[in-house]
Structures are given as C-alpha cells and as structure tokens.
Structure 1
C-alpha cells in the first residue's frame, strides 16, 4: 500500500496539470470551422447522392433530445438541423494527430445557404458525438453533432491517453500495462470539456493500479461512471496484467 501511494503522488500531479491545460487551451478548436449546408430530405437514396457529391449527411441538435422523457425532448426540439458537411474537411480533421479527441472537442459550425454561399443561416459551437462508418470500407456514412454553447451541460466520453509507458518502472521489470479504460464519461459544462485526460504511468510498479477516482479534473465535471473505484490501468505479470489473479 505504501508503495502505491508513493507512486501515485507523482502521477496525480501530472494528471491534474494535463487536465487543466486541456480544459483551458482546447475548449474550442480554433483551427477548423465546420462548414455545412442544409438538406431538406433524409433517406438512404438522398444520403447516397450526397456522398457521391463529396458531402456527408449529418444532423445537429440539442443533446437533451436523446433523453427518454418525451417532455424533455419536446422542450429541446428546436434548432434541430439536417445538414451535410464537406467530406474533404472532415477527413482532414480526422487525419490530424489529435483525431482521437474529435468527439471531445468543440468546433465552430456555420450553416450556409448553399455550397460556396456567403449567406449564413445559422452558426454556433458544436460537439461531434457520433461517426457512423461502413463496416467493410470504413467510409463515413453520416455524423451527429450536438450544440455545445457555453453554459450547456453535456455528457462526454473523454479519451484517456497513457504517458510514460516506455519508461514505466513495472514494465521495465518485465510487467505489462493493461489499459482497462480508454475513456471516462463525465457531465461537463461545455466550456470545461477536456479534449483528453493524460495519465502518467511512468512511476507505476508491478501490481500498481490507477483508479477512476484518482483522476483530477475541473471541479465542475461530474463523473457519470457508477463505480469510481474501477481501475483504468494496471501493471502486472503475464495473465495478471490482463485482469487475472
């Protein structure tokens, strides 16, 4: 136990610092303003035609529309838009080094009257929450965005990035790092959504674990996991590294 607390001390300082940097510097992506145009109709044939024209069918709405309560969905039924976005632009974003945090990064969105039009119909800040791909080809079929203006609370799966595995004390002794959780879900005020959480594992020894409860995030974030005592990673030997006893 003493060994765990010694190794955890340095780790927690690193996680806290990384999370603060992400929540302050990457609240909104300044590199890409997603350009969209309206689409009047849905359906597989219409969607297929849009894809042949280099566009991806998408929808943007309030996240509350996903709630089970009909009264809540009715309240937030406004500002739902059927749109298409430029495939070339989305592919460019997804080829960047930070593509893994695409669904935890806010983007400015502009909905224009048509392709190349200067007439702006709607604008705001959005969060991508889902990318549907063809199972065989991997091509993007459609996308889902939710409005993410400051002051809104959103449920977000924040990706976990493990740092220091190459110099991890336990790995150097022949252990293996089991990355048990690759994301953690929080209820986040939009302006404090961290694009990622960095977890420093360099000080972990054999049998050391890092738990969800050990992750220090902005105090406004609410953990949505039912078990904060679940480990997000563990260093162990052989089958023990993968959850065995």
Structure 2
C-alpha cells in the first residue's frame, strides 16, 4: 500500500485555539460551597456548577465556580460538542453576577461535561487551567475524511473503527480540536496505525504501542461500522 501522511499545521492549530479563546470567553463567578442542594439551586437560577483544577502536581488546588447556562448552551450550539473537551477557552472569574470586578482571568481546557441523560441539559463541568508554556494530556477525537472516495467502497468494503480518540501530550497554545485521518485511498484489508499519523512535532502520542490500528477496511459489513463525515 502506498504510504499515507496525515498532517496538522502547528500555526493553524494556534490560530484556531486563539479564535475560540477570543470569541468564546466563558464568564464565571465563585461559589464557596458545593453539594446536591446548592447545585440544584444554581441550576434553577440558570447557572451551571463548575470546578477548575490546577494541572501541576505541586499545586492541587481547585476553584469552585458557576457559569451561565445560556452562554454554555450557545457555545455548544456553535461548536460541535465532540470537540468541546479538546478546545481551550478564555475564562473570566467575576466577583458576582453582572459585576465588572475581575478576580481572575486565564485559559482553560474543559475535561468533563456532564449532561442529564433524559433532558440532555448540562449539569456540571470540570476545567483545568491551560496557560501558555504548559502541557496537558488531551483525548483528541479522530475524524475520518474521504469515506465515499475510498477504493474499498466500490468493492463492498466497510470502515471499522478501532479507536475514536487518541491521547496526546499537547502544548496548551496549540491543542488541535481533532485528528483528521484521510482514508480516501484505502482498499479492503488496508489499515491505519497510530504510527502512520503525523501531527505537529510539539505533540507527543501517549501510547505504549503505536503499532496498534485506529481503523481498517473490512470486506463485509460489521457491527462496529459507523457513518462518518466526509
């Protein structure tokens, strides 16, 4: 099989990260205590309980916050929720709702978004500070491109996904929202391995065995085949 390359430009990553930090600044206010009743009260007032952790082992502090439900819903409407936890945002902590007093400002990376299983409403969120110069472990979604163009399609082949996410150690200033894999030239029996994916040199794949496949083209329809964006 002809060698394939999948590349992500470091400059493009930095520009994309800067775009979301600039136009999607999350506003938050402190909360002193937590608990089911307090959280329920916050949600009834149109706010989402949240917490921000420090990423360093030396500093294990956390900050309790609440964010505006309308703002988070607006962000999730404009941004594919699949990429929410691989996108950095600017976070501004105000003294209170509607206050002009800024207590703290910095970049954060969402690491958890919990929803109500029945309603789909966001129940709580977890962030980690993502200041420039530091590195974070990030689960990056894998997105397959060129699905309808692959030679194996005409032969009845199906795409079987093995990994939907790949974990990388990323500099906070150039965290990619996703890993794009072009499978337009794959035929039946072809596979894409972790080691085949070339990303920006600043990213480090956190896997003990990069010879494992992330997808393959099989001859017949299988249970794990899924429709993918083109």
Mark yes or no: TM-score above 0.5. yes
Q: In the alignment, is residue 236 of structure 1 matched against residue 228 of structure 2?
A: no
Q: Quick one: distance in 2 between partners of 1:171 and 1:231?
A: 19
2:112 maps to: 130
Task: Determine helix, strand or coil for the equivalent of 1:185.
Answer: strand
Report whether the alignment pairs 1:54 with 2:46: yes
Q: Secondary structure at the match of 1:234?
A: strand
1:118 to 79, 100, 104: 100
3-state SS in 2 of match to 1:48: helix
Q: d(CA) in 1 for partners of 2:172 and 2:214?
A: 24
The answer as to whether partners of 2:46 and 2:68 remain within 8 angstroms in 1 is yes
Pairs within 5 Å for 1:206-245:
206-238=188-220
* Residue in structure 2 matched with residue 77 of structure 1 by the alignment: 60
8 A Cα contact 2:157 2:221, kept in partner:
no
Task: Report the more deviating stretch, 44-53 or 20-29.
Answer: 20-29
Q: Secondary structure at the match of 2:78?
A: coil
Kindly indicate whether the alpha-carbon contact (under 8 Å) linking 1:22 and 1:195 is maintained by their aligned counterparts in 2.
no
Q: 1:21 to 1:170 in 2, by over 3 A?
A: farther
- Partners of 1:44 and 1:22 in 2: CA distance: 42
Task: Name the SS of the counterpart of 1:95 in structure 2.
Answer: helix
Deviations 1:151-199 (Å, cap 9, x if unpaired)?
A: 1110100111111101111122210011221110011111121111111
Does the aligned pair in 2 maintain the 1:186–1:224 contact within 8 Å?
yes
**CA displacement at 1:20 relative to structure 2:** 3.8
Q: Check whether the contact 2:190–2:216 (CA below 8 A) recurs between aligned residues.
A: yes
SS at match of 1:238: coil
Contact in 1 for aligned 2:50/2:127 (Cα 8 Å) = yes
For 2:160 and 2:12, the matched residues in 1 are separated by 24
Give the corresponding residue for 1:143: 125
Q: Is the 8 A contact 1:235 1:241 kept in 2?
A: no
- 1:67 alignment partner in structure 2: none
- TM-score, normalising length from structure 1? 0.85
Q: Using the alignment, how far apart are the partners of 1:156 and 1:182 within structure 2?
A: 13
The CA RMSD measured in Å over matched residues stands at: 1.8
Q: What are the Cα deviations for residues 50-104 of structure 1, in whole angstroms up to 9, with x where unaligned?
A: 000110000011124xxxxxxx3xx2134x2100001111111112253321111
Cα deviation, 1:32-62, whole Å, max 9, x if unaligned, reads: 0000011111000000000001100000111
Residues 1:241 and 1:133: Cα distance change in structure 2 (over 3 Å)? closer
Structure with the larger helix share: 1
1:25 lines up with 2:8 in the alignment: no
User: In structure 2, what is the Cα distance between the partners aligned to 1:94 and 1:172?
Assistant: 36
